[in-house]
Amino acid sequence: MIARMNDYERIASAIRYLDRHHTTQPHLNALAQSVGLSPFHFHRLFSTWAGITPKDFLQCLTLEHARSLLRTGDNVLDAALTAGLSGPGRLHDLCVALEAASPGEMKSGGAGLTIQYGVAITPFGDALIGETARGICHLSFLNGNGRAGAHHLLLEQWPAAELQRNDKRAAKLAAQIFARPETEMRPRLRAFVRGTPFQLRVWRALLRVPRGALTSYGRLSAAINQPTAARAVGSAVGANPVAFLIPCHRVIRETGVLGNYRWDPIRKRAILAWELAAHSTVNAHAA
């Protein structure tokens, strides 16, 4: 478990190094040295974690690559909103049924609910995952505030619920949520969230943005028939209570800049590149 966490920290460190030195297009030796590994071990780590070579992975992080994806975003998002799919790659993506808490349940703060929660290892570091009998209600990556901060955030979202620690269940959920798309089909996952009607519209639209595709705040607002509400859409995206499961990381700025991310912009870049690499691999196998 510790080794897996170290893997992500090294990947994140390599991305930070690229942010500082991208103009020089650093070679494999420099990247390996920046994380304290030999070129051989760094190449193996990257290939195991991302499923592709460091060179191909880094291509997924470039601004021009993001812009090219965004230029095709209209067609992809339109198709996804219309049919719920966008080509064969979507069949390998996460299938999430989103259920909203009722106004009474929102007002009560989760009174009468039991939430099993735990900390699990993911490809992007430790995450706290909470689940009720009606679905996954919380997923947050541990940032600088650690487990105590993540636990406090869960309590803020569901202040009156009964919390029961269950790390084994969290680990099982993490394995399903973060499974690579080339693995066998996973069971349909359920999410149970507290949110306003507007937030729910935004989150449901996000669920239709497929792996390997990006959209912008403006296009997302147009998709819910609120073309002038990009700022409010941005707030709803930022309030997403189940990171990764509702893919708020797939929203970038109109310029192609990846922008901020509640759980660290470096993690957002790592997630996007990981998804894009997996999407490309699946499509190559399908061809």
The residues annotated as belonging to the active site are 248
- Quote the DSSP letter at residue 188: P
- Strand residues in the chain grouped as ranges (E): 96-100, 114-122, 125-132, 135-141, 162-165, 189-193, 215-216, 251-252
- 106 and 194 in contact (C-beta within 8 Å)? yes
Give the Cα separation of 193 and 205 in Å (integer).
15
Number of Cβ atoms within 10 Å of the Cβ of 3:
7
Give the Cα separation of 214 and 209 in Å (integer).
7
Residue from 116, 91, 98 nearest 181 by CA: 91
Q: Alpha helices of 22-102 — where are they, by DSSP H?
A: 28-34, 39-50, 54-59, 63-71, 73-83
